[in-house]
Amino acid sequence: MEAKLIERLEAAVARLESLSAGGISARGLPDGVDEVSSDPSILAFDDLMAQYAARVSAAAEKIGGQVLDVTKLVLEAFSVQKKLLIEIKQTQKPDMAGLVEFLKPLNEVILKVNAMTEGRRSDFFNHLKSAGDSLSALAWIAYTGKDCGMSMPIAHVEESWQMAEFYNNKVLVEYRNKDQIHVEWAKALKELYLPGLRDYVKSHYPLGPVWSASGKKASSAPPKAPPPGAPAPPPPPPASLFSSEPSQPSSSNPKQGMSAVFQEISSGNVSVGLKKVTADMKTKNRTDRTGVVSASGKETHSSSPSFSKAGPPKLELQMGRKWAVENQIGRKNLVIDDCDAK
């Protein structure tokens, strides 16, 4: 009995060794990528591409030219995102610099699309801008938590499409009565994101990508050492979408003129720099208050024609309630003896 048991154990060990030598796991799948590729979230991404991306591609094939070129880049960006999602399941969560390096392949594709909108304005400029602006939605994969400076993944996808929709609507209006293939392309591009990508993120990554706790570490770009004696070079600019440094707010630049006034008012610090009015400075509490009526600082010219028809001077209390002071030309020391607060 014991001999048979030992033989069975030896056979099992030999089989496991043979499977390990061939790079096959005990589940019958190759180690690493193939196993992760069967993950429900990855399979759902394939369904997303089959259902929505295929429509955009089919319409672009009929249009051709730059529209087809930019559509291929859009699909390439989605393909890169799928590869990154597979790697995330095998990689530990990196720091910000490591995350920028990790997402570099996706950012490079996005930069290619943005380059197509530069230079001489194309006849398909609205198509190119719609496709280029829409790719910022793929940056949801960079969400690492509430303090990362991004909206939640679902909200980020929706907000990103709102930027692209301005140009997408221009395509719809321009070709509504001219060429329905362009209209179909614009509608299919929108559905790729809403509801396509949005619903995918909502179902599988509402709180952002889930990194592996025990996977490999993400590699960071090694800094280049400056030559001996040379000053250290400034840090390179961050990637266009996935930056490791927060952007400086526009308020950091000092404003001048009325802009500074409105900024000060909006900040609520309108009393800064003003002197405080104490009780003894108020008119009702001043001890030096008198009934002396002073003339203006400038001398009045009696030769002015406006005073040639002046009436007789008047300084009297009328009806016991108000003083009438008229035509006192040139007199500076008029005194009213009977003063009352009323």
Q: With pLDDT > 70 as the criterion, what percentage of the chain qualifies?
A: 61
Say which residue, 164 or 237, is predicted with more confidence. 164
User: Does 242 reside within a domain?
Assistant: no
User: Does 244 reside within a domain?
Assistant: no
pLDDT at 39: 87
User: Does 16 reside within a domain?
Assistant: no
pLDDT in tens, 163-204: 999 999 999 999 999 999 999 999 999 999 999 999 999 999
Residue 150: CATH number of its domain = 1.25.40.330
pLDDT in tens, 87-117: 999 999 998 889 999 999 999 999 999 999 8
Structural domain for 75, as ranges: 40-209
- Name the one residue in this structure whose structure tokens are 């570490």: 217
Token pair of 55, please?
């429509």
The total of structural domains in the chain comes to: 1
| Averaged pLDDT for residues 127-146 | 94
How does DSSP assign 308-338, residue by residue? TT----EEEEETTTEEEEE--TT---EE---
User: Does 222 reside within a domain?
Assistant: no
User: Does 243 reside within a domain?
Assistant: no
pLDDT at 11: 56
User: Does 54 reside within a domain?
Assistant: yes
User: Does 33 reside within a domain?
Assistant: no
pLDDT at 20: 39
Distances (CA, A) of 331 to 26, 92, 125: 115, 93, 80
Long-range pairs, 145-152, Cβ under 8 A, ≥24: 145/208, 149/246, 152/206, 152/207, 152/208
Token pair of 103, please?
């997402």
User: Does 53 reside within a domain?
Assistant: yes
0.85 surpassed by pTM: no
